[in-house]
């Protein structure tokens, strides 16, 4: 009986304390990604080279994404049926990225991450990563 009273008092104390925690501390901070916006993606690397893009240095569209942006670190090709161009992502080990390209083989849960050179892109390999979709 005594143990039960202590248990009840404990639970009551917990709720009373919870009331004093400011509401904003119970909500995710601004800019923080909610767990449901984390998606498991298969990530590979690409670069500006002919092998990766089909464009040669000197071509007018060399180094440009499908949407006309200049490819750089953070440039990511995705399935635009899933992610609209401009979608901001956070890719673990790669960093903040923006969906700004698309590729023929990039469908479904696949992402192609831009790297400055072919060796680095190839060395990146293929990784299953929990990618945060920011907006
Ligand atoms: Zn390449």
Tell me which residue range forms the domain holding 124: 29-133
Q: How much distance in Å is there from the Cα of 2 to the middle of ligand 1? A: 72
Beta-carbon count within 10 A of 90 CB: 16
Tell me the two tokens of residue 96: 């903040």
Find the 52 Cα to ligand 1 centroid distance in Å: 4
Residue 8 inside a domain? The answer is no
Ligand 1 centroid distance, CA of 112 (Å): 11
Is residue 125 in a domain? yes
Would you say residue 48 lies in a domain? yes
The structural domain count of the chain equals 1
Looking at per-residue pLDDT, the higher value among 26 and 90 belongs to 90
Q: Are 119 and 45 in contact (CB under 8 A)?
A: no
CA of 41 to the centre of ligand 1 (A): 21
How far, in Å, CA of 107 to CA of 121, rounded?
19
The answer to whether residue 53 is domain-embedded is yes
pLDDT tens for 46-101 read 999 999 999 999 999 999 999 999 999 999 999 999 999 999 999 999 999 999 99
Does residue 4 form part of some domain? Answer: no
Which residues, by Cβ under 5 Å, contact ligand 1, an ion?
Answer: 47, 49, 51-52, 118
Closest CA relative to residue 66, chosen from 83, 78, 74: 78
Structural domain contains residue 114: yes
Say which CATH number the domain at 49 has. 2.40.40.10
Q: How many CB atoms lie within 10 A of CB 84?
A: 9
Residue 13 lies in a domain: no
pLDDT tens per residue, range 97-107: 999 999 989 99
* Residue (of 38, 106, 108, 118) closest to 76 by Cα position: 106
Assigned domain for 60 exists: yes
């Amino acid at each position: 009986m005594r143990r039960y009273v202590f248990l009840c008092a404990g639970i009551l104390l917990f709720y009373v304390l919870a009331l004093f925690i400011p509401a904003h501390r119970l909500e995710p901070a601004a800019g923080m990604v909610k767990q449901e916006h984390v998606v498991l993606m298969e990530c590979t690397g690409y670069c500006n080279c002919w092998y990766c893009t089909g464009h040669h240095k000197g071509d007018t569209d060399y180094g440009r994404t499908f949407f006309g942006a200049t490819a750089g670190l953070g440039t990511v090709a995705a399935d635009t049926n899933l992610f609209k161009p401009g979608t901001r992502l956070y890719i673990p080990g790669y960093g903040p990225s923006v969906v700004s390209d698309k590729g023929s083989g990039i469908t479904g849960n696949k992402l192609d991450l831009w790297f400055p050179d072919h060796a680095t892109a190839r060395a990146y390999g293929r990784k299953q990563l929990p990618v945060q979709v920011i907006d």
